[in-house]
Amino acid sequence: MEIIRSVDEMVAISRKIKAEGKTIGFVPTMGFLHQGHISLIKNARKENEIVAVSVFVNPTQFGPNEDLENYPRNEEKDLELCAEAGCDYIFIPKPVDMYREGYNTYVEVFGITEGLCGASRPGHFRGVCTVVFKLFNIIKPTKAYFGQKDAQQLAVIKKMVRELNADIEIIGCPIIREADGLALSSRNTYLTKDEREQALVLSKSLKLAKELIDSGMIEVSEIKEEMLRLISTAKDSEVDYIEFVDNYDLKPLNRIDRSNQVLIALAVKIGKTRLIDNMVV
């Protein structure tokens, strides 16, 4: 595995790989890798000749009061995990190289970025789309892999690629969970032992929603009420949102209807840590 830190060098390498007619599978990450990321890398490994992973804590997707400075980092472990998972190139650019002095160009997707996480994290998806588009131009992937855990991000990236005619296939990969249901996230590291236990209310409330739907409940407000009741049993929890939306365009739904795939998404603060989870029914 080669470690590349310069944008120009990465551009030259991917240009050469493309000229040789080889496929590139790309996994963009912010590092502090866990088995969720590894599953993306393994999928990329199966489907492409060359696999590239980026590790970049992207400053433009963090709000002023968010955790940019404290975002967990462990480069040594990331390198080890990427090598083990069969990555060929790991790209670790510096912020000053990605955003040179005077940088002022952004990619913004409208219509599906205002709700869900976009409502409480204004500017977040603009930062995500900008960095992902830049990384696509640098790495020139054939296919790029994103986790379903960030369901809104996945839908936004798909829309960006579709509407900007980027010649890249976006592959969504399933959420990876701990044995007790907690969705893997780099931010789980912020949780104390007690909060880790309380955080199970996210996956439990999704499971409950699925059971209620399976038993015939169709009114979203009623299902939400039951989910809220369950989440309130976690003493340090504060619900940011619980939304039932169409899985394609993220338009809010009031009733469960067999004609569309419903994304049930939620964000809950456990103590100071904001966690997200979702399920498609």
Residue 124 annotated in active site: no
- By CB under 6 A, is residue 209 in contact with ligand PAF? no
3-state secondary structure at position 145: strand
- By CB under 6 A, is residue 234 in contact with ligand PAF? no
Query: H-helix or E-strand containing 47?
Result: helix 35-47
d(CA 130, CA 123): 11
3-state secondary structure at position 223: helix
Binder among 14, 17, 28, 145 for ligand PAF (CB under 6 A): 28
Q: Which of 10, 31, 37, 245 is catalytic?
A: 37
Assign residue 144 a region (left: φ > 0; alpha: ψ between -120 and 50; beta: otherwise). Answer: beta
Q: Is 193 exposed, middle or buried (0-12, 13-18, 19+ CB in 10 A)?
A: exposed
- By CB under 6 A, is residue 118 in contact with ligand PAF? no
Binder among 52, 81, 131, 155 for ligand PAF (CB under 6 A): 131
- By CB under 6 A, is residue 172 in contact with ligand PAF? no
Q: Find residue 262's DSSP bridge partners.
A: 246
Please count the residues of this chain forming the interface with ligand PAF, following the rule CB under 6 A: 10
In angstroms, what is the minimal distance from the CB of 150 to ligand PAF?
5
Do 276 and 164 touch, CB atoms closer than 8 A?
no
**Residue 127: HSE in the Cβ half-sphere, 13 Å Cα cutoff:** 18
- Residues of span 63-82 touching ligand PAF by CB under 6 A: none
Q: What is the DSSP letter of 196?
A: H
In angstroms, what is the minimal distance from the CB of 223 to ligand PAF?
28
- By CB under 6 A, is residue 58 in contact with ligand PAF? yes
Strands (E), 24-122: 24-29, 50-55, 89-91
In angstroms, what is the minimal distance from the CB of 127 to ligand PAF?
7
Q: In this chain, which stretch among 41-49, 97-105, 126-134, 175-183 interacts with ligand PAF, using CB under 6 A? A: 126-134
- By CB under 6 A, is residue 148 in contact with ligand PAF? no
- By CB under 6 A, is residue 61 in contact with ligand PAF? yes
- For ligand PAF, the binding residues (CB under 6 A) are 28-30, 58, 61, 128, 131-132, 150, 153
Report the catalytic residues.
37
